[in-house]
Chains A and B, each alone.
Chain A
Amino acid sequence: MTEPAAYGFLAGTFVGFAAGYVGSLMVLKRMALVGDALSHVALPGLALGILFNFNPFLGAFAFLFAAAILTWYIERTTRLFPESIVGVLFVTALAVGILITPEVDLLEALFGDITTVTLLDAVLAIGISVLIVVVSRLVYRRVVLSILSEELARSTGINVALVNFVYLLLVTVVVAVGIKIVGTVLVGALVIVPAAAVKNVSRSLSSYALLSGLAGIASAGSGILLADYLRLPAGPLVVTVGTAIFAGALVAGWIASRSSSTAPRS
């Protein structure tokens, strides 16, 4: 394994756990496609970074952050659902991004390039991933309660608007760090697929969150190792492994539900 690939593997496993953990909330919020769409908003930021010679991922984060603030604000002040808001932002950002991204760099922006991960990139990705998981853990219960019943959450003193904002910020940051691993097109899958997979087999909320993170590690780590071995791009392989985990969990959940429904009642 080359040095950049090793850095990529290290960063990928941490980002995979953070993405799975945050993704577990997105799946519960039924915002799976919002995460996917939001990731594309990063493209103009990446393009500006490439054009004006600054770190493209700072540009991506700035655009994602602005999109998150805009989504949160429009959601609070209008009757539009986040899906609609992000949908509009997504197509606009994608159109602008494709127009201004230099053609030679477009492929890396869209699909990521694990072979260019530096030590600094890896350290940053690990630090940010740890921070994401810590903050997610702090707000996790409040987000879930506001998903179950906003009124119930507010009646217990939870500031639902603030919790939603922190949650959107977490999505933004995890998407920004995930772009380096799998690119803007596939980062939505890095966030969603692990959580969607383990929801089929999770018996409780705590096991669901933890298993989502572990499935994220499994798909990112295995995908990057496979990419290094097969000399193929990491992004598509990370997503492919995630999809295999999803299929396996689906079958396991189906078998478990069949055996529990046919078990003799005591």
Chain B
Amino acid sequence: MVAAPPPSRSPTREAGAAADVLRVAHLGVRLDHAPILEDVSFHVRRGTTLAIVGPNGAGKTTLFRVLLGLVPHTGTVEWSGSVRIGYVPQNFVVTDVPITVRDFLGFKSGAGFEESLAAVGLGSAVLPKRLDVLSGGEMQRVLIAWAVLDRPNVLLFDEPTATVDIGSEDMLYESLNRLEKETNITVFLITHDLHIVSQYSDAVLALNRTVRFFGASSRFSEPELLMEIFGSGAGLAEHKHDFGARGFR
């Protein structure tokens, strides 16, 4: 394992990030007697973004399921203080179910729809639309609106842009950027996109059943390090379009 402490990327962030929101130590998960995660340890500072990367089957989604308390495990998972988690799952596809955006958001809360939708750049005009007619980008933003509806202080995103086109991806990360700035939320982000890692995260956790790297995202783009972690066929996609100087900070 290659490890380095994840530094904060701005003075204000450093001042407010003294406490860890999560400490995971020697985490292990076995499914059907096969090891999915082994001896995974890391910590996350409040108000920062942790990118979780690794090849398919590396245990990234399982890690999220552990953080949500859905999977039995060994080792310790320690959240600090009162944590309210918002979760955006991977592959959320709705087909042939007569359910509107208003119905869906109403599952979680009776009010505050407009505010949550505005936070992700959607207007109230989307409320009467059925989920199965939304575009991929709209659906993802509705999911984020759902996740932030009850004002969580931790957000888990499982490949939030896996099913959207580049234009929608741009808008989605703008929404996330705005949300993080406004609410000082802690974000956990599973992604395959190296560009997203460098532009939008403070720290990186590279998994492949065990921890292959945990440290500052600024170090993660070093070619020697990537080679060491993923070998010559690095398991991450390099994104080609330019988001400019936008970031989560």
Contact = CB atoms under 8 A, between A and B. Distances in A.
Interface string A211-233: 00000000000000000000000
Given A152-B87, A156-B108, A204 B103 contact: yes
Given A148-B92, A199-B98, A155 B103 contact: no
B94 A203 contact: no
B89 A205 contact: no
A11 to B, nearest CB: 29
Interface in B156-178: none
Interface stretch (A34-42, A104-112, A139-147): A139-147
Contacts of B68: 151, 154-155
B89 A206 contact: no
Given A156-B108, A203-B130, A151 B70 contact: yes
B151 interface: no
Looking at A152, A155, A199, A204, the one whose CB has the most chain B CB atoms below 10 A away is A155
Interface in A111-164: 141, 144-145, 147-149, 151-152, 154-156
B65 to A, nearest CB: 7
A34 B138 CA distance: 34
Interface residues of B, number: 21
A149 B98 contact: no
A111 B74 CA distance: 55
Contacts, number: 54
A204 B85 contact: no
Nearest to B90: A151
A243 interface: no
A145 B107 contact: yes
A144 B99 contact: yes
A205 B70 contact: no
A204 B99 contact: yes
Contacts of A154: 68, 70
A110 B218 CA distance: 72
A240 interface: no
A225 B94 CA distance: 39
A201 B175 CA distance: 34
B98 A205 contact: yes
B43 to A, nearest CB: 22
Interface in A40-95: none
Interface in B75-121: 85, 87, 89, 92, 94, 96-100, 102-104, 106-108
Contact of B89 (A149, A202, A203): A149
Contacts of B92: 148-149, 152
A96 interface: no
A147 B102 contact: no
Interface of B: 65, 68, 70, 85, 87, 89, 92, 94, 96-100, 102-104, 106-108, 128, 130
Interchain residue pairs A-B with the least CB separation, the first 5? A202-B98, A205-B103, A155-B87, A208-B98, A204-B100
8 contacts: A28-B97, A141-B106, A144-B99, A148-B94, A148-B97, A155-B70, A199-B96, A205-B97
Interface of A: 28, 141, 144-145, 147-149, 151-152, 154-156, 199, 202-208
